[in-house]
Chain A
Amino acid sequence: MQHKLSFMETVVYGLIGLAVFLGIWYALPATGLVPQQFLPGPATVVERMTVLATQPFAGATLPAHIGYSFVRFMSGFLLAALIGIPLGLIMGWFRIVDEIVAPIFDGLRFIAPIAWVPFAALWFGTGVGGPIMIIFAGAFPPCVINAYRGAKQVDPQLIEAAEMLGTGHLRMMKDILLPASVPSIVAGLRVAAGLGWQSLVGAELIVASTGVGFMMVQAQANVATSTVMSGMVAIGIVGLVIDMLLRRGEAAIRRRRGLAE
């Protein structure tokens, strides 16, 4: 590997790369090489986003749509965490549970969360349950898997010490496995959040009547490209913020535990 670049060099090269990208993006519609309808320039998109901040489209303003999406995301995500993490710990502790659940889990794993959308539509219509179910399907596996791995990788001597001290099953999972698995669980939450957010978008494209995904589908039907792109930017930003917050949380926990960062 080559030598690391200095901070200045990184910044300069970064700005060059960014400038080239934005330049091309701006030039293509501006020079008429590509029709504006097809590819609105960066300025157009930014302008459109500011308009959408106060003017509703497809039933609500952009911030309102984001709000709907975010609430659904949090519901599905928390549900996945509250069910998935204990399940993972139980599977990690009771081998019989592992042996029963794992094959079913492994089988279902290959069905993309998005494939549950038709059933979600059938069961919940365009109500809020549909997207939440899809988000759950996306966020659930990483929660379980990371809790499971965390439990399995607990120092066996810790467990032996706990057993020697007469620890019952529930307390073992609650006070030994859970705290010891926190780094793995938090890493899993990050992955789950990413997958959950992605699943949300997919679900909203199909079975929603509000939310950013829904807004984008309506915009596409109306050939409102700049609105579609506004939605993409908004989704990207929210996803980034969620990930950043979780990453901070993860780093803080790792620091408290004295783990490598």
Chain B
Amino acid sequence: MRSRKTIIGLGAILGVVVLWFALTRWFSIIPVGRFPTPAAFWEALKQIELKGYAGSLLHEHAWHSLRLIIISFIVAVGTGVPLGLLMGWNRKAEALINPVFTLIRPIPPLAWIPLAILWLGLGDAAKVMVIWFAAFVPSVINAHAGVRNIDKSVIEAARMLGTPPLRLVMEVILPGALPMIFTGLRLSLQASWTTLVAAELVGALVGIGFVLNVAQQDIYPAMILVGMLTAGVLGWFTTFVLGLVEKSVLSWSVRGRA
């Protein structure tokens, strides 16, 4: 029963909160320097939003990070999906590009951070570059798989029906690959957040990762927790929006969600 599941779920979360109180405040099992009490957390939250921390208010940091994510994500999937479609459809393009792709692929996105800082400094451009590397790869791979997954006879039917090339791409290949493309988009979004937080941790002047960085150096555990939860909420929010887009675009699919 769904209601039973919801009740237990809420109960579990409540249980965690109670545990938090118990371990930190009531029984002082966890020393105050290690993990914040709920009260300390609340104070830190108020501070960063009302007075500011690490140079800006919470929502300013959040907005800066969010903006970067949106821009980088769009650039990455805007380049990755067409490339993946091309490689999936055209075997020659695939053979040409594959070796280079295979070389770049194993380098973890975060490993590009030092190079990005060397090339582009500590500003937004470096972040966009690193996120691009992170988010680009899943989009290509999944768009490629999406094309290959299209039922062969559907493509043959389209050819039999005399479909011109542009229409073939827009009305057959793209819609056919769309379920897997969305899987790639979800992975790209996840990778984008991880990379952004890391990039901002290493070198930034504003943003959620920067807040985490400063809080760590100030030895301010409550603020660290604020930063982490904010990152989580933003991550959840963007994933949720992506899910809405997916549901509406893929309304024709039985599964609706790959």
Contacts and interface: CB of A to CB of B under 8 A. Distances in A.
B106 A239 contact: yes
Interface in A196-249: 197-198, 201-202, 205-206, 213, 216-217, 219-220, 223, 225, 228-229, 231-233, 235-237, 239-240, 243
Contacts of A219: 114
Interface in A1-59: 1-5, 9-10, 12-18, 21, 38
Interface stretch (A106-114, A145-153, A159-167): A106-114
A260 interface: no
Interface size range on A against B = 35 or more
Contacts of A16: 96
B215 A118 contact: yes
B97 A17 contact: yes
A111 B100 contact: no
A201 B35 CA distance: 25
Contact of A225 (B15, B91, B103, B118): B118
Contacts of B91: 1-5
A228 B111 CA distance: 9
Contact of B201 (A117, A197, A225): A117
A259 interface: no
B117 to A, nearest CB: 6
Given A101-B12, A110-B233, A115 B228 contact: yes
Q: Chain B interface secondary structure, helix, strand, loop or mixed? A: helix
Interface in B204-221: 212-213, 215-216, 219, 221
Given A114-B201, A122-B34, A205-B114, A237 B228 contact: no
A252 interface: no
A206 B202 contact: yes
Given A99-B9, A228-B115, 13 more contacts: A14-B99, A17-B99, A100-B12, A103-B10, A104-B12, A114-B198, A115-B212, A119-B228, A198-B110, A205-B198, A217-B202, A220-B118, A236-B107
Interface of A: 1-5, 9-10, 12-18, 21, 38, 96, 99-104, 107-108, 110-119, 121-123, 197-198, 201-202, 205-206, 213, 216-217, 219-220, 223, 225, 228-229, 231-233, 235-237, 239-240, 243
